[in-house]
Chain A
């Protein structure tokens, strides 16, 4: 399925496996149910990623975070926003690997996804065909700064005001 990140389309280096059989795949993406077994069979050189449903509890997931190189959070529909909170929780629990949103998202959600900690979006073919990558790259910059602190970078409006105050450019009115 087509994959993109903030720089544009990218090649998927991961191979999905149906079950826990990861053979000699260097980067194997396994379903959540098969994760325990896959981790047991993993060799030192192999990297493991997992596809998780969006109703998984962070308490379960955090036990294996350090053994994972990629987590793909499933979005069953663009309107189901659980994945955004799950991504935020996964990052808050210290996961530094790749975080992928997988499902029929729309370009208007790209900026949100990145802000919540996702690195890349994996789209169904039909959705990617309707919304070319240029639309995603354009949409991501349409709102240059959000208000929320703690979502991505320090360019949010509240931190910019704070910086301006510190520099004496913005009086406390």
Chain B
């Protein structure tokens, strides 16, 4: 993985010193609370419901064991012994004290980490496919691109006071695991059919929130060399033309929608043609320097399937199920990419205690080249595991309550923190997730239902990605009572789609019943081998709506 050089190191250290100075200028009145707000936000400090929250950047979801141990330490020393992994591959601490923040930033800088631009109206932490470098369907590793963008977007002189936040995601695989179509800019590495040159497909204007939009392609094949100049052109058009009269209409998706993708593309291409690309782009040697950090580890030469693994699976059905559900095939024979579920039934999705973080750090060090990934679905990945080591890992995870075999299944729920923590929330999210998990806790039942993504947001800002959940749940407040709106048919992959609302909002206690009815329609209607989302696409929403209406009427 990437390591800081002297420049990166100095940059992050100076940034911490700058924040200390900003805090002191706030305290002596040189800057007002209003002026201080974007400064603290761009260092990841939010004012939340009960306390300050600190959001730590985990660029493209990649962590070393050393870094994860440091996060565990910070959680223990400055928080309540746990942290929350988010849908943007970041980590949030919910209880730090403002006065401790500069010290925490120092501890982060010690392990080449920071909180830069994890909030505020700027280019946010860049995200990527969590199986980067190991997935079989990968055309090219997205991490060098993501790291280049991380550097380029950090404290960008021109683009630090944008109309609104700006999120960039990168994938290098055929199957989109980075939800690029729901980002302000989504980049997909792909081969040009004629030249076979790897280039970027550039989408702009995706986003969730109160006006969900799927990103639109503005360039089919952008030569890799032109990346930064093209991004600069997009950002300049947005910074100048994006709406600033209404914060709910300030994202680039609204600009693209209002002027149309053709006109947006024309303006970007015009600016791109006019600006001096070579003076903006990183030179190939710099791109190569970054890419070299992401070289594959020295894999052992192993048979495609481990006999040790097959034997332990045969002897232990629970282990066999966990392997089947939580691992994916790997580029390297005899290896697996393992997803560790942070969704044990009844726990807050995405939470990990400091002890759990240390265990995962230890396991990564012992079995996965000391590297961990954070997924946008709020789980952790050990990317380089020998198949024969899976059993030992499973046993140790089991002792820490981390061996749930539910990746991609109905209890692997994405959920924002909701009203239990968040100042913006209009309803609780975590208890809804927990209630659904309890309802479907049975392993055989989950497995029989198969792949089904439930995503829950506690307000219209959609941090829980509910629009792109196969089943989405949005918590609202109606006359002082929490009300949950259910959507169906959303999709976060390369087939990105926004879910359709099924009917009137439900009370919290009715949500598990409604989900069960929806699932029952699928179970009775599905064709052989058909997944939930495939079934919804084939038969349409009507049967699901009918089933939903029954419960909506019953409780009305």
Contact = CB atoms under 8 A, between A and B. Distances in A.
Contacts of A161: 5, 7, 286, 289
A144 B280 contact: no
B157 A131 contact: no
A142 B18 contact: yes
Contact of B240 (A85, A130, A152): A85
Interface string B237-256: 00110001000000000000
Interface in A38-90: 55, 78-82, 84-86, 88-89
Contacts of A145: 7, 10-11
Interface stretch (B58-66, B147-155, B208-216): B147-155
B234 to A, nearest CB: 12
Contacts of B158: 81, 84-85, 88, 112, 115-116, 148, 151
Contact of A172 (B31, B274, B289): B289
A168 B162 CA distance: 39
Interface in B105-134: 121
Majority-rule SS of B interface residues: helix
B239 A85 contact: yes
B99 to A, nearest CB: 20
Interface in A106-148: 106-109, 111-113, 115-116, 130-132, 135, 138-139, 142-148
Given A88-B236, A172-B285, A143 B15 contact: yes
A111 B15 CA distance: 13
Given A112-B157, A112-B158, A150 B279 contact: yes
A108 B161 CA distance: 12
B35 A106 contact: yes
Contact of B275 (A79, A92, A139, A144): A92
B239 A82 contact: yes
Contacts of B154: 146-147
Given A150-B276, A161-B5, A130 B30 contact: yes
A96 interface: no
B21 A138 contact: yes
Contacts of A172: 285, 288-289, 292
Interface in A156-173: 157-158, 160-162, 165, 170, 172-173
Contacts of B161: 78-81, 84, 109
B160 interface: yes
Contacts of A113: 157
Given A81-B239, A160-B7, A162-B285, A149 B157 contact: no
A59 B16 CA distance: 41
A84 B157 contact: yes
B19 to A, nearest CB: 10
B10 A147 contact: no
Contact of B31 (A92, A131, A152): A131
Q: How large is the interface on A (under 10, 10 to 19, 20 to 34, 35 or more residues)?
A: 35 or more
B540 to A, nearest CB: 45
Interface in B267-310: 274-276, 279-283, 285-286, 288-289, 292-293
B39 interface: yes
Contact of B283 (A79, A152, A162, A173): A162
B21 A142 contact: yes
B17 interface: yes
B157 A111 contact: yes
B264 to A, nearest CB: 16
B29 interface: yes
B25 interface: yes
B288 A130 contact: no
B367 interface: no
A86 B240 contact: yes
B11 A143 contact: yes
Contact of A130 (B10, B31, B239, B286): B31
B27 to A, nearest CB: 13
Contact of A81 (B5, B152, B159, B281): B159
B461 interface: no
Contacts of B38: 79
Contact of B236 (A85, A139, A144): A85
A130 B7 contact: no
A63 B496 CA distance: 45
B21 A148 contact: no
Contacts of B275: 92
B292 A142 contact: no
Interchain residue pairs A-B with the least CB separation, the first 4 = A81-B161, A115-B157, A112-B157, A142-B18
Given A78-B161, A146-B155, 15 more contacts: A55-B240, A79-B121, A82-B239, A84-B157, A85-B236, A86-B240, A109-B161, A116-B157, A131-B25, A142-B21, A147-B11, A147-B151, A152-B157, A157-B8, A173-B289
Interface of B: 5, 7-8, 10-11, 14-15, 17-18, 21-22, 25, 29-32, 35, 38-39, 121, 151-152, 154-162, 228, 236, 239-240, 244, 274-276, 279-283, 285-286, 288-289, 292-293
20 contacts: A84-B157, A84-B158, A85-B239, A88-B158, A108-B18, A130-B29, A130-B30, A131-B25, A142-B21, A143-B11, A144-B10, A144-B14, A148-B280, A149-B279, A149-B280, A149-B281, A158-B151, A162-B286, A172-B285, A173-B289
